[in-house]
Structure 1
Amino acid sequence: MKTLTGKKLRLAHRIYLVLGALFICSLVVSNLIFQKFFYWNPFGIFNFEISVGLLPYPITFLVTDLVSEIYGRRKANDLVLAGIFASVFSLGIIGVANVVPAIDGSPVQDLVFNKVFGATTIAVLASMTAYLFAQLVDIQIYHFWKRVTKGKKLWLRNNLSTIFSQFVDTLSVLLLLCYFKVLLWDQFGPLLLAGFLFKVLVAFIDTPLLYAGVFIFKRLFGLETGEEIKID
């Protein structure tokens, strides 16, 4: 654990806040936009039927892996808890917005607003439950392989932790959404397969981004292999 002082410490705090903001924004937005689904067929190989909520969601796992690598497990867990709080707070805001009646001249009337955000409460609760479990799994697996590899083979712990935790997340949230009848059970199998494969693909794609981030941090703060920054 490396202790920083002066400008380096302030810079480490600022970067952590930026990563935290990126993490929380991605998490909350993914819960708000999840009801829109689309098809994506990269290179004609596989036809993904996925929610647009999955587009920002992998960012959360990339950020927690980067924070785990540089700032340690405790600071990564702090982000998870902050994300839970932000999601709950967003539910309160949406609840108030649903209760107040729209005026006649409002561009968005109550019916449209409720249709778009009506399932948000159940979706956020389901997502938070699955997300909390998956993120804790991701962080635990990441640090397990970090100890085993003695801080080396970043690609291995990034992909193993992300792939397994993303499967846990996808399975959990779809089970809950189907159980509460937000989605139909007929959609469960196709969405599970498409969602998991999409997240696996993204996990491989974001590996170079994680390497780039870790490289920048190591050069910026003079970190050795496996060394972490200590910030309070």
Structure 2
Amino acid sequence: MNKQDLSTAQLQRRRDGVFLVLAGLFLGTLGMLNVLGLTRFLQLGVIGSWPVVVAVGALPYPITFLCTDLISEIWGEQRANQVVWVGLLLNGWVVLILWLGGVLPAMPGTDDSTFRTLQQLSFGAVGASMVAYLTAQFVDVRLFHFWKKRTKGKALWLRNNGSTLVSQLVDTSAVVLISHYGAHVLPVQPDAPVLPQLGSFIASGYLFKMLAALADTLPFIWLTGWLRKILHIDTNNDPD
């Protein structure tokens, strides 16, 4: 369907709908990983004698960077930053509900140990992710547009990977360090040196996120072209 076949209102509704889907996927994934967070650690493989271990909350996290990159590419830096700020408020909302659920009296005769465990782990995950998330997502958006300007709107693969790979290293390092030193919720062995264990957590998490970021390069390029086509957006022009 050509642009002239759509009214201005129809085109705007289509653009708003796609934006809501991407923003909803971003925020829903963020809320899910903050609840799942550090509740379970997965060993995804072994490299030599080094086990590749990641928290279950890290599994959906690469999707958030794909969403912000698509929003940055189609709607611009300002809209992407707005979604990041809403995500920060969502983090605060999760903390508020977890806190409220803990201070209100439980039903007599019920066992709230499961909630208390989840609350403790989620507080650690959310507390760490609030700092790491805000830093990493803004780094991602800023670097994305830095590379977009440097390449004059070309080399989609460069700004997609050049922003995500750096920002996810920032995110992974911050989450691991804050989770351990700030919340003490990482499963470290007390009788072994701490720094090598933290380094292993950082390396494992970053390896997983790096591979996920590289794997989404072709989907990102395809989705960008497809969205520009169905939303009738010229290259290098934002819809707003």
Q: Same fold by TM-score, threshold 0.5 exceeded?
A: yes
Question: Residue 54 of structure 2 aligns to a residue in which SS?
Answer: strand
The match for 2:3 is none
Match of 1:151 among 150, 153, 158: 153
Q: Tell me how far apart the structure 2 counterparts of residues 211 and 143 of structure 1 sit (CA, whole Å).
A: 16
The match for 1:65 is 69
- Tell me whether 1:5 sits opposite 2:15 in the alignment: no
The match for 1:99 is 103
Q: Tell me how far apart the structure 2 counterparts of residues 20 and 138 of structure 1 sit (CA, whole Å).
A: 16
**TM-score, normalization by structure 2:** 0.87
Letter in 2 for 1:57: Y
The match for 2:233 is 223
- Tell me whether 1:24 sits opposite 2:34 in the alignment: no
After TM superposition, list the pairs within 5 Å mapping 1:34-73 onto structure 2.
34-35=37-38, 36-41=40-45, 47-73=51-77
Q: Tell me how far apart the structure 2 counterparts of residues 182 and 42 of structure 1 sit (CA, whole Å).
A: 23
Q: Tell me how far apart the structure 2 counterparts of residues 45 and 126 of structure 1 sit (CA, whole Å).
A: 28
Q: Deviations over 1:161-195 (max 9, x none)?
A: 00000000011111111112222435311110000
**TM-fit CA distance, 1:30:** 0.8
**TM-fit CA distance, 1:44:** 9.4
**TM-fit CA distance, 1:99:** 2.3
Letter in 2 for 1:85: L
**TM-fit CA distance, 1:123:** 2.2
Question: Residue 107 of structure 2 aligns to a residue in which SS?
Answer: coil
- The higher-RCO structure (CA 8 Å, 6+ apart) is 1
The match for 2:214 is 204
**TM-fit CA distance, 1:138:** 0.6
Q: Deviations over 1:83-107 (max 9, x none)?
A: 011110111111122223433565x
Instruction: Give the direction of change, closer, same or farther, for the CA distance of 1:69–1:42 in structure 2 (3 Å limit).
Output: farther
Question: Residue 42 of structure 2 aligns to a residue in which SS?
Answer: strand
Deviating above 4 A after TM superposition, structure 1's stretches of 4 or more consecutive aligned residues are 42-47
Instruction: Give the direction of change, closer, same or farther, for the CA distance of 1:47–1:119 in structure 2 (3 Å limit).
Output: closer
Q: Tell me how far apart the structure 2 counterparts of residues 221 and 6 of structure 1 sit (CA, whole Å).
A: 12
Q: Tell me how far apart the structure 2 counterparts of residues 202 and 61 of structure 1 sit (CA, whole Å).
A: 10
Letter in 1 for 2:185: V
Which moves more between the two structures, 133-142 or 88-97?
Answer: 88-97
Q: How many residues align?
A: 225
CA contact under 8 A between 1:26 and 1:57: conserved in structure 2?
yes
Q: Deviations over 1:195-224 (max 9, x none)?
A: 011110000111122112111111112233
Question: Residue 43 of structure 2 aligns to a residue in which SS?
Answer: strand
Q: Tell me how far apart the structure 2 counterparts of residues 69 and 200 of structure 1 sit (CA, whole Å).
A: 20
Instruction: Give the direction of change, closer, same or farther, for the CA distance of 1:100–1:129 in structure 2 (3 Å limit).
Output: same
Q: Tell me how far apart the structure 1 counterparts of residues 233 and 23 of structure 2 sit (CA, whole Å).
A: 21
